[in-house]
Amino acid sequence: MSPGPKAAAVRAALRGAAPASASVRDMIRRYCREHGKQLACLAPAWNCKVLSVWRVFARTRPLLPRQVEGVISLFQLDEFDANDLRLRAAREAGWNIDPSMLLRGEA
């Protein structure tokens, strides 16, 4: 029996903020659990085979931008969650991004 179309939105509203130590892979696993899906559902979004999805999660190299965008489009993440995922992925890839600079309103 399916939990319903709004179940993921309800779970997302009830969840707390992810800890600062959570990796992008941890966040993707969390989104999969919230939406009631398995990691294998990422294969069509990433245009690869299921085994390749498992290999990506087993390795420690950073995720590609197209993989992050595939997750965002698959789970239809809102702007806040999408930008949080992008920021974490960029920082894991070695970009020196200071989040406080992103929040400034100066032009």
Q: Domain with 39 in it: what CATH number? A: 1.10.260
Q: What is the pLDDT of residue 3?
A: 62
Q: What is the pLDDT of residue 1?
A: 47
Mean pLDDT per block of 10 residues along the chain (107 residues) reads 61 62 89 93 94 93 94 94 92 83 61
Burial 46-65 (b: 16+ CB within 10 A, else e): beeeeeebeebeeeeebbee
**Has residue 8 been placed in a domain?**
no
Scanning 1-107, the segments in alpha helix (DSSP H) are: 7-14, 24-34, 42-46, 50-58, 65-75, 79-92, 99-102
**Has residue 42 been placed in a domain?**
yes
Q: What is the pLDDT of residue 104?
A: 61
Q: What is the pLDDT of residue 15?
A: 62
**Has residue 106 been placed in a domain?**
no
**Has residue 12 been placed in a domain?**
no
CB 26 within 8 A of CB 88: no
**Has residue 79 been placed in a domain?**
yes
- Domain that includes residue 44, residue range: 22-94
Q: How many domains does the chain have?
A: 1
Q: pTM to 2 decimals?
A: 0.74
**Has residue 4 been placed in a domain?**
no
